Amino acid sequence: MRSMRSMLSRPQDLVTARLVERERLPELIKIAERYALALTPDIVELIDPADAHDPIARQFIPSKPELERRAEESLDPIGDDVHSPVTGIVHRYPDRLLLMPVHVCAVYCRFCFRREVVGRQRALSARELRRALDYIRAREEIWEVILSGGDPLVLSTRRMAEIMQALAAIDHVKVTRVHTRVPVVAPARVNRALVCALKAAGQAVYIVLHANHAKELTPKARAACARLVDAGIPMLSQTVLLRGVNDDAQSLGELMRGLVECRIKPYYLHHPDLAPGTAHWRTDIAHGQALMRALRGRLSGLCQPTYVLDIPGGHGKSPIGPSYIAANEAAEYEVEDFRGQHHIYPPRLASSSPAKRGRGAARQRGGGGEGV
């Protein structure tokens, strides 16, 4: 990664780079006192200061609504704390857990659900990391370890290799998943040495890329992802549904297609979490479901992520996409196709009465056209 000195990490840096007007400096200072700030040179290059609706600026440049906290918002919106038995571990599901070796990111997304922590807490000490690994070793039900944070790929190549090798040495851990923004925000960091560090013998390694807009998939970012995939490391993606960034079918579809073109399978579309000061990014769930219907009708199945909500209080993720099947009064199923038409399953026999055939004929759902 380029020198930290070339990053923008102070409000004054944003003014100097002419990304924001000087009049906004007091507001930005107030936000930066509470939430971490950093933009890499690669991200700065993508921002168009003349575009008031620039999707990259909206994700990374602070704005005044971040200081407005609503009653439903929480410092720990998805309940990490209640599932953290030792420092650096979040163990919410039976067969997998999060290992968070670092709380630093290359960039700080303004909508981050861990915004009260990232950039503020230090990385795990050697002793804390040993305790976290001991916790994993002692629990044979742990099949998958997810490296998160912070962004694990900001760690040195040496430390990244040590963590990957330590996990590979645990017999019951078969899969390691790494969640990261680095390939799009600092693609030069994904060099041959880092790729080699990520490949651990006897371990299935997956990289999950966080990307929210097709504009992020620059030629340099695509090349960084290709270096990982060409080395035999499969990639998935996760995206946050964000008002003013990707909350329309065209923007979301372009992103999903771009990811698939990079050989990255769209995995999750997250409904935004209830983190403090993030209300201006949230859509409602009905809008998200309508977007999923639009994708289903327009794009290949390869481009379909699972729309999920991380239930507040630590109850885990649940899929919240639209349903296409329902039981009817005749104890049959009505299945909706991508055009919004309904069909009986299993199909009724030709000998059925005309009344039944009429009731079972495909019909158009009112308002279903937006999903086509």
- Residue 217 covered by a domain: yes
The answer to whether residue 74 sits within a structural domain is no
Query: Which residues have CB under 8 Å from 290's CB, separation 6+?
Result: 322, 370, 371
Identify the pLDDT of residue 1.
44
Instruction: For residues 120 and 174, state if they share a domain.
Output: yes
Q: The domain containing residue 346 runs over which residues?
A: 325-371
Virtual torsion, Cα 132, 135, 139, 140, nearest 10 deg: 50
Is residue 2 annotated as a catalytic residue, yes or no?
no
Q: Which of 24, 42, 58, 105 is catalytic?
A: 105
Known active-site residue 356: no
CA distance 278 to 73: 8
55 and 97 together in one domain: no
pLDDT at 364: 39
- 137 and 260 in a single domain? The answer is yes
Q: Which run of H or E residues covers position 364? A: strand 363-364
Identify the pLDDT of residue 220: 98
CA dihedral (141, 89, 151, 307) positive or negative:
positive
Query: Which residue in the list 42, 54, 109, 296 is annotated as catalytic?
Result: 109
Percent of the chain with pLDDT over 90: 85
Task: Name the active-site residue from 24, 114, 115, 181.
Answer: 114
Whether residue 270 sits in one domain with residue 197: yes
92 is catalytic: yes
Residues 186, 334, single domain; the answer is no
For residues 72-84, give the mean pLDDT.
93
The strand pair at 89-93 and 96-99 is best described as antiparallel
Q: Is residue 180 part of a domain?
A: yes
109 is catalytic: yes
In 3D space, the residue among 268, 225, 215 whose CA is nearest the CA of residue 246 turns out to be 215
Question: Which DSSP category does 85 fall into?
Answer: S
Q: Which of 319, 342, 359 marks a domain boundary?
A: 319
pLDDT tens digit sequence for 279-290: 999 999 999 999
- Active-site residue 225, yes or no? no
C-beta separation of 103 from 120 below 8 A: yes
Q: Which letter does DSSP use for residue 323 in this model?
A: P
340 and 307 within one domain: no
| Catalytic residue of the set 42, 265, 273, 307 | 273
Residue 359 pLDDT grade (very low, low, confident, very high; cuts 50, 70, 90): very low
Catalytic (active site) residue 93: yes
Of the candidates 58, 112, 115, 206, the residue annotated as catalytic is 112
Does some domain include residue 90?
yes
Q: Which of 24, 58, 92, 215 is catalytic?
A: 92
Question: Residue 184 corresponds to which tokens in the numbers above?
Answer: 């799009």
Judged against a pLDDT cut of 90, whether residue 99 lies above it is answered with yes
Structure confidence at residue 360 (pLDDT): 43
Q: Establish if 76 belongs to a structural domain.
A: no
23 and 160 belong to one structural domain = no
Residue 349 lies in a domain: yes
Contact between residue 319 and residue 306 where contact means Cβ atoms under 8 Å apart: yes
Helix (H, G, I), strand (E, B) or coil at 22: helix
Q: What is the pLDDT of residue 120?
A: 80
The pLDDT, as a whole number, for residue 267 is 98
User: What would the two tokens of residue 46 be?
Assistant: 């993508």
Q: Residue 98 pairs with which residues in a beta bridge?
A: 90, 146
**Is the pLDDT reported for residue 366 higher than 50?**
no
Residue 117: the pLDDT is: 87
The answer to which of 90-94, 254-258, 317-321, 346-350 has the lowest mean pLDDT is: 346-350
Question: In 10 A of CB 265, how many CB atoms?
Answer: 18
105 is catalytic: yes
In this structure, the answer to whether residues 9 and 120 fall within a common structural domain is: no
Q: Both 232 and 355 in a single domain?
A: no
Q: Which of 93, 243, 247, 263 is catalytic?
A: 93
Same domain, 229 and 253: yes
Q: Smallest Cα–Cα separation from 147: which of 111, 173, 172?
A: 173
Residue 216: inside a domain, yes or no? yes
Last residue of a domain, one of 319, 343, 362: 319
Give the closest residue to 146 by CA, choosing from 113, 104, 99. 99
Q: Write down the pTM of the prediction.
A: 0.90
Per the annotation, the verdict on 134 as an active-site residue is no
* Residue 362 vs residues 102, 114, 174, 326: alpha-carbon distances, Å: 54, 47, 46, 14
Task: Say if residue 294 is in the same domain as residue 211.
Answer: yes
Once rounded to an integer, what is the mean pLDDT over residues 224-230? 98
Answer for the pair 271, 234: CB distance below 8 angstroms, yes or no: no
Lowest mean pLDDT among 184-188, 256-260, 313-317: 313-317
Which residue among 42, 54, 76, 310 is the active-site one?
310
- 187 domain-assigned: yes
Beta strands across the sheet bearing 333-336: 325-327, 333-336, 341-345, 363-364
Residues 191, 59: one domain? Answer: no
Total tally of structural domains belonging to the chain: 3
